[in-house]
Amino acid sequence: MTPIYQITTVLDKHGYLVHNLLMKPVKTMSIRLSSEQAEALEIVASVEALPLSEVIRTAINEHIDSKTKDPAFQDNLRDRLEKAQRFLRTDG
């Protein structure tokens, strides 16, 4: 089944178009932040004139990108995949 994409338009605080992009269907998640983290996040979003959710998505994408390029992470991922494959091959 082909995912349905949604057009997402992001405007700055003055109503000017920041960017327009196609997003896959969204999944709502919640996170807990310290008050210091929440305040820092709000300041970054305010200074960049972006919605909090966009700043969070950008940070998550950057983190995932850095992990996919990290050799130690890749080794750990391979080990976990191999263990899972061995588990699936066992007779139980």
Cα gap 19→64, rounded to integer Å: 22
Predicted pLDDT at 60: 93
Predicted pLDDT at 50: 92
| CB neighbours of residue 36 within 10 Å | 8
Residue for token pair 């995949």: 81
Cα gap 51→53, rounded to integer Å: 5
Token pair for 3: 């995912």
Tens-of-pLDDT digits for all 92 residues of the chain? 555 555 666 666 666 666 556 656 678 889 999 999 999 999 999 999 999 999 999 999 999 999 999 999 999 999 999 999 999 887 65
Q: Are strands 17-23 and 6-11 parallel, antiparallel or unpaired?
A: antiparallel
Listed by start position, the domains of the chain span 29-89
